[in-house]
Structure 1
Amino acid sequence: MDHSAHHTGTAHDHAAHQDREGHAGPVTWGAAAKATLHCLTGCAIGEILGMAIGTALMWGNVATMVLAIVLAFVFGYSLTLFAIRKAGLDFKTAIKVALAADTLSIIVMELVDNGIIALVPGAMDAHLDETLFWTSLLGGFVIAFLLTTPVNKWMIGHGKGHAVVHAYH
């Protein structure tokens, strides 16, 4: 995802907009929603792929969920990593930025959407061709998006999360 639409200044420009406590200033809900949608995209790719692989291989619920969560982190970080590498950062710095930008957002997203899947009766045992599988998974993503957006708004407003990524555009 190209983050240049969010912020086009340099790292110095970005730092100049922060106050002494590291607050980046007012953050719109739209900016927070875009950051959350970015996180959700990576998480969804990883979750769906992990659930599909685990289900197709007839793995148990725990192994399938672990694979889905691991892949959610991999794809979540990868989307940010590719975007900031494209901006010219070296690999080591890009990894640090991706970890700083996405870790809390992905953790919240994963806790919420997997918690919902675990709480919906029968969802853990649903198969890929069942409506319950997809409604619980997609419903979990919607609720996770709604609960993660305020977290991202707070983080960006405090110069953390995707504010870190924006410093490199």
Structure 2
Amino acid sequence: MDHGAHHHHEHQHQHDAHHGSGTSWRTAAQATLHCLTGCAIGEVLGMVIGTAAGLHNATTVVISIALAFVFGYALTMRGVLRAGLPLGQALKVALAADTVSIAVMEVIDNTVIVAVPGAMDAGLGQFLFWASLALSLVLAFVLTTPVNRWMIGRGKGHAVVHAYH
């Protein structure tokens, strides 16, 4: 195979992997990990703020969810802004890329934290607080990866960001 044909074949394979039904688990896991990074920063920060301030559990969860979306979108926007997109377009890309993924993660991780007996009432110095938070993020990653694989395979979700990397 000559170099030009080989390059076209590789490009077609990458295109199929990102937009077709053959989306790899590796691609989906990378997209999920990227999304989880922002979610985890916001989720942990929200839980720490709410717990340290002695806020009501529901208020703590709302703060955590809001911060997860803010940090999730911010990480995606940072990359696409670096690629030269104007702010408004970068926000649209981040919303399209991350909204479903962050929403699924937030449902999973907050459900886990609320469901673990005593986790929402545990203090910052208690193992239960950190263990339930870690468990919730691991489960969010595991359960969101297939969602992201499905979306990327249809040219949705994190697939919209790939044009800017």
* TM-score in terms of structure 2 length: 0.88
Taking the aligned partners of 2:151 and 2:163, their CA distance within structure 1 comes to: 14
1:29-73 alpha-carbon deviations (Å, 9 max, x no partner): 011001000111101100111111111111111111111110000
Over the matched positions of the two proteins, sequence identity in percent amounts to 64
Structure 1: stretches of 5+ with no match in the other structure: 1-12
**Alignment partner, residue 24 of structure 1:** 19
User: Which aligned segments of 4 or more residues in structure 1 are displaced greater than 2 angstroms?
Assistant: none
What letter is aligned with 1:81? M
**Alignment partner, residue 116 of structure 1:** 112
**Alignment partner, residue 60 of structure 2:** 64
Q: How many residues align?
A: 151
Residue of 70, 78, 82 corresponding to 1:86: 82
1:145-169 alpha-carbon deviations (Å, 9 max, x no partner): 0000000001111001111000223
Greater radius of gyration (CA): 2
What letter is aligned with 2:85? L
Determine which structure has the larger helix proportion and give its number.
Answer: 2
Task: Please tell me the root mean square deviation across aligned C-alpha atoms, in Å.
Answer: 1.5
Taking the aligned partners of 2:135 and 2:40, their CA distance within structure 1 comes to: 12
Taking the aligned partners of 1:40 and 1:24, their CA distance within structure 2 comes to: 21
Say whether residues 1:103 and 2:95 are aligned partners.
Answer: no
Structure 2: stretches of 5+ with no match in the other structure: 1-10
